[in-house]
Structure 1
Amino acid sequence: MNIKRKLTIRFALQLATAGAFALLIAAVTLFWIIGRLNDTLISRDFASVGLAQLIESSELSEEGIRFAPHLLEQVKKNGGWLQSLDENGQVEQSYNAPQDVPKKYATGEFFSYWTGAQHFPYKLYLWIQEKDGRTFTLLYGVSNDRGTLLKQVSSQGSLSSNGILMLPNDVTARLKHLDGYVQLLDANGNELAAFNRPASAPTTYTLQELALRTMYNEKYGFHLSSLYVNETGNTWVLNLPNAYGTPLGDNWFLSTEARTILIGMFVMFLAILLSFLLLSLWQAHRFGVPLLHILTWLDELGNAVYQEPVDYRGIHRSRMRSGKWKRRYRIFADVMYSVDKLSSTLQRDQVLRQQTDSLREEWIAGITHDLKTPLVSIKGYAHLLAEPQYDWTAEEIRKFSGTMLEKSAHMDMLINDLAMSYRLKSGVRPPDSEEIELNNWLQEALKQAATNPFYKKETIVYQRSPTEITVNLYTPWLERVINNLVANALLHNPPDTILTVSVMPDKGGKGHTIQFADNGMGMDENTANRLFERYYRGTNTSSTPNGTGLGMAVSKGLIEAMGGQIIVDTALGKGTVIRLIWGKDDVVIEA
């Protein structure tokens, strides 16, 4: 899998995971908001909301009905009580019920209490529902302080002649206990008298003020109840503190529900923001660290440091101790492999360049020596001939001239080889070739090469091909290659070395091979691998006056320029075999 696909899949999965996590946060927030709103509704109006949930969450057991503990706890917080009735009005179970609540209700008695026809100190709520084949009848009661106190205040309270509100002792004690207050208003809403009124309470009410305080008790923190007296035109106002909240002050327009929703949304967006921030940091660590490592590595390559950067312990940052890629680097494995391969290539090229530079310097030094040595001889003999105090004989002059010609010829051969090596490197092609019969031509070429006075007699053995082979080649180049290979085999081996030259057609008749095999010392692997390099010399050029140090490089270039190839097979102590191989395009074989 390439890096493009890896990154696409990785980013798609991470975005999908981030989206799923954001949805999870939203879902958790939604459930929290619903739960908080439900708690608010239960605490505010347990009779309408809590009783239904109480029955839905109930379970039937051998001991009777079991209700959810948190709902029963809410009943107690609201100051209420709970009774479960059978069909005859008998109380089966009760929770937080006061002593003055009946244990059994007659049919008419219950409805008198429920409708308010008969005084009952508690406000009653009835819930009837069928579940699991059984009819549940729940009776929920809360203290009816507002109704009871307002009735007592309106019936027993009076205004004295000096403007003081007169109330029964039990009513005043109850008001103080509940931290409530009473006001008597005239027809215009102005306060005539009050009992236990706090300083923050108004002394004048408009119609709107009275309505708002009655409907929105959350803002003011008091439940307001009022009773208008037709005979006098006065209004009794009773205020009792909220049982489940404090006043909202100036933010009265933010209800408990609104605050719950705002808090939930704020927490949700904050959680999502923090999640994406952490994801971004994780992404930066997961993808940024490998990229910075790769950039550092490339920068090191630019500074000619061809090794992967390591940490302070000398360990590669991208790998574990076992050598495997670390998890965050695996996605960039293709890039890391490419950079590692580039590092190895550059390092190898640097070593090769250094070796090449060193060999070039050695080769130039050798060429300089090879040119200077015959030039010194020529210069020396020229000085001898030019000296007037010597009267050289004709024989001595011919000897000096012969030596000077021999050294000049060696310099000319060296310069020609040097020029030819550069021409071959630039891609020179051979002139027009000529058609020859290879067996006969090669036999004559070897006889001519064997006339070299530095070779011993009968050191070259020639083996003809059993069939005639007609080829189109540029013979001066081929002759030069043969002379170079013969010289390389006979001049750089022991004197008793035998060189066997064979002409062999291919089995399919599509090409031919000229093989030069000697039984000399052979070459080591390094010398064999670098035998045809222009800047590599296996022996010193001064080992023989006929050597230039370029023969093998020139031979390889000439053979390849004529469409062939040259290969070497050698080992120390086993001699050397060099083959010149041509394919079918330039060969015609005759039976």
Structure 2
Amino acid sequence: MNWKITLRFIITITIVNMIVLLLVFSSISYYLYGESLFSRNTSDINEIYSTPAGAEKFASDFFQFIEFKDNDPYVSEEGIEILKKYNGWIQILDNNGDEVYNNLKPDNAPIHYSPVEIVHAYKYNGVIGDSSIFIGMIKNNDLKYSYIIGLPYNLVARYVVYFNFSNIFKSYKQGIFVTLFSTLLVTISISYLFGRKLTNPLSKIIDGIKILADGDYNVYYPEKGVYKDIYSNLNNLSIKLKESKIEKENLNKIRENWIENFCHDVKTPLSSIKGYGEILLDDIYISSNEEKDNYLKIILEKTDYIENLLNDLKLTYKLQNSLIPLNKQKINLNDFMVEIIVNILNHPLYENRKVNFSHKENPIFIDLDTHLFSRAINNLVYNALIHNTKDTVINISISNENGICILIEDNGTGMSKEKLAHPFDRNYNDKSLKENKKGSGRGMIISKEIIEAHGGNIQVTSQLGKGTKITIAL
């Protein structure tokens, strides 16, 4: 891949350089000789200074402005205006080199020219005034006249170049070949070095994308150089893909745990339902309608337990994955807690239990999802009621000195060190469930998830025989 990119770059640069070389040759030819490599047309007479060849063309075509009167030559008014326009001058000479007409000529211009003087003035700039000399010829009847036109040499100049004309034609092919080959060689060398510098990072970027596509997200490039922004975006993509992979793995673990927990927790009640169902189908084991009703009642209780378990597992899964939007509203926490405690004590099974509530007189306002948070508090308080004797005292208090804190304390049986090490473990709750036959055994887990969803945390301290203390910090 790296070689392909480099080769394409070299070909592209080479083509561009060859085009540029042709344009340079064309420009040099145009400005030196008044023509391009692709055209032989000289400039217009009205644009004599646009190219060097324009002055020669102007001089050779100036005869059209020379007229004769009584066989005496002179320049028309239009021709004189053109000479003035281009700061030029003119002399017309007869066959003997004598001047027969002039206009605007400089002071040092001679009135007679020998052939050598004409050649000398034509060859070198500034021989006559500050002018470059251009020669033309005109014929009238049988008489021939020469005319000299001078133009400012700061605008158009002539320089003589000496060369062996025959050798040029012998070696021009070799010269062109050497020039093009040298240019091509230099171009390829520079293009290769420059191309490698550009294509090496591109090759790394392509390799990085392939690595990401293969599922390996440990890709990082130093963010510097021409491709700094691309490296930065590639690094960000790698981080996001890695985070997505971790999140996906966590979701898979949660899903696997959910299935595993459900299968584990539902196994015992399903066995009971199946066993009692088989007994009910066999009349040999049924001695009375009362016994039959007891079995049906057990089946119904186990069915309710499975239903509660499924709902609680579903709620736990949603809380752990933030799938339940919190419908928060500002409430007075004191009034909220009083309402929960009153509803608990109104329950027939717990109306004679001792539950105390203390708080400061000033109201404590907080944003909570009242439905979910009341369930968390209910789970914790009911847990204390269910797992302790009837004479256990439960004290609930609220403080807001260093943040809002809810304490739920009891002087009940407490927890062993083994249980306290995993207060939110489902096995601990399962064991409690078997003893009390209430709920799904996931009350503590659900309470913890709800509290953490509100940005809080929960801690449990306990001592066997002395009671348990639950601290909720919001």
Taking structure 2 as the reference length, the TM-score comes to 0.45
Larger Rg: 1
- TM-score normalised by length of structure 1: 0.38
